[in-house]
Amino acid sequence: MKEKKAKRIVYRSEREMPLMVISVGSQTHNLTGAWRNIRPEIDLEKCLKCGICWKFCPEPAIEIVDERPVVDYDYCKGCGICAEECPAKCIVMAEERK
Ligand code: SF4
Ligand code: SF4
């Protein structure tokens, strides 16, 4: 049987994305930054200000300030979803500095 490959959808802006539930209120007591061994670093020069990283982040770890993403490392668990989804590929996952 032929293996089916999942189709990857690339969004150019968070406004193109379907509506989804974003629930971070109950997570703010949990400092998931302690789980991290790699950390996202954003090259803001290349950032498209699309907000996709903010929308995909499963923690309350990305805030949009002046249209640009800022990572709150108290909550970033280093999952790498933001880097995977960033259409500009301007987020790299770097080794955590201890
Ligand atoms: S790696 Fe990115 S998506 Fe994952 S928690 Fe940190 S900021 Fe959010
Ligand atoms: S870092 Fe990437 S995903 Fe986040 S706003 Fe900038 S271009 Fe979009």
pTM over 0.85: no
Which residues make Cβ contacts (< 8 Å) with residue 3, sequence separation at least 6? none
pLDDT in tens, 46-88: 999 999 999 999 998 999 999 999 999 999 999 999 999 999 9
- 83 within some domain: yes
Q: Is pLDDT of 25 > 60?
A: no
Per the structure, how many domains does the chain have? 1
Q: Is the CB of 86 under 6 A from ligand 2?
A: yes
- 1 within some domain: no
- 24 within some domain: no
The residue segments making up the domain with residue 56 are 37-98
Q: Is pLDDT of 28 > 80?
A: no
Q: Is the CB of 88 under 6 A from ligand 2?
A: yes
Per-residue model confidence (pLDDT) at position 18? 81
Which residues make Cβ contacts (< 8 Å) with residue 12, sequence separation at least 6? 48, 50, 87
The whole-chain average pLDDT of the chain stands at: 89
Which ligand 1 atom sits nearest the alpha carbon of residue 83?
2
The answer to whether the CB of 80 falls within 8 A of the CB of 36 is: no
Per-residue model confidence (pLDDT) at position 21? 67
Q: What is the CATH number of the domain that holds 76?
A: 3.30.70.20
Which residues make Cβ contacts (< 8 Å) with residue 76, sequence separation at least 6? 32, 33, 36, 39, 40, 57, 59, 61, 62
What residues are in contact with ligand 1 under a 6 Å CB criterion?
Answer: 40, 57, 59, 61-62, 71, 76-82
